[in-house]
Structure 1
Amino acid sequence: MRASHADRERAIDVLKAGFSEGRLGQAEYEQRLTRATHAQTYAELNVLLADLPQGPVPMPPAQQAPPAYQPVPRTFLPTPPPKTNGTAVGALICGILTPMYGITAIPAVILGHVAKSQIRRSGEDGAGFATAGLVLGWLAIGAVLAFILAVVVASS
């Protein structure tokens, strides 16, 4: 994944801290600084920072050895995708089941409206699922009402 300017700046800050703490010599600091400013990906930045602590370093107990590896700092990890709203999925399922079980049109409409408001509030994914459930539900309700109207008109 490509690194942004902010990611490179954070990496440079870690290098500056490592240099000021005496963990890096002048030549190595300058070399890593040059590589950090030209880094294109998170992997390139991680290679430059893998042996440097990022943030306060807790002292390990005397009888315990320090860990063999350093995990990738949160700064360089991609953010997880937003969660899909479960109510929107329910609305879609009810809408899809409407041709087989006509009664599911009403829950599809109700769940679709509830899901839309939850998605607006929380920022979750699933707006398309909610819309599809709403459309299928309202289409089924409209078809039933049209059928009832046709029967009433035909019988009078």
Structure 2
Amino acid sequence: MRASDSDRARAEDVLKAGYAEGRLSKHEFDQRMAHVHSATTYGELHHLLADLPQGPSPLPAPAPAFQAPVPAPMPYAPARPWSPVPPPQQTNGNAVGALVCGVLCPFTWGVTAIPAIILGHKARSDIQRTREKGDGMALTGLVFGYLTLVGWMMLLMLGIATGF
């Protein structure tokens, strides 16, 4: 492989270090420097520096005799995607149903009072167990349902008392 100018400059540095350390005589140093300037391949540079200690070699690193197989990377899948904001809490569906039935009680002559009470109690039980949102809606449905039920009971009692 052909040597570049930077490869020759590194070889010069190795020769200068060898001369400064006393490993080469002045005559030998001058001869090798002349050959470094005329070298065209890595092999020629290596031949000039083979008997000197050197840092990075101007030769490409030899291939290792044995190369252990690189293990395949383990697939990585996070347990759940990370989010800086927690997901919003779900509103209990029974609580929404209890609120709707409770609000409709006066307009349906009390027909939705019983479903409002049933859905309200079921929603509050579920909310307590699952920590969902909607406790206020369930309670509002219960209140409207019970008020409507009590109102109809009072009307019935009043009708019985007056002989209706």
1:116 aligns with: 124
2:107 to 83, 97, 100: 100
1:84 aligns with 2:91: yes
What SS class does the counterpart of residue 156 from structure 2 fall into? helix
Amino acid at match of 1:107: P
Gap regions ≥5 residues in structure 2? 1-72
1:152 aligns with 2:156: no
Which 4+ residue blocks in structure 1 deviate beyond 2 angstroms? 56-59
Aligned Cα root-mean-square deviation (Å) = 2.1
Structure 1: distance between partners of 2:95 and 2:123: 5
Structure 2: distance between partners of 1:141 and 1:116: 19
Amino acid at match of 1:135: V
Structure 2: distance between partners of 1:154 and 1:78: 63
Q: If the length of structure 1 is used for normalisation, what is the TM-score?
A: 0.52
Quote the offset at 1:77 in angstroms. Answer: 1.5
1:39 aligns with: none
Quote the offset at 1:58 in angstroms. Answer: 5.5
Quote the offset at 1:148 in angstroms. Answer: 0.5
Quote the offset at 1:81 in angstroms. Answer: 1.7
1:143 aligns with 2:151: yes
**Looking at CA atoms only, which structure, 1 or 2, has the larger radius of gyration?**
2
**CA offset digits 1:40-87 (Å, max 9, x no partner):** xxxxxxxxxxxxxxxx9869xxxxxxxxxxxxx71x520012100000
Amino acid at match of 1:140: T
Gap regions ≥5 residues in structure 1? 1-55, 60-72
Number of residue pairs matched?
A: 87
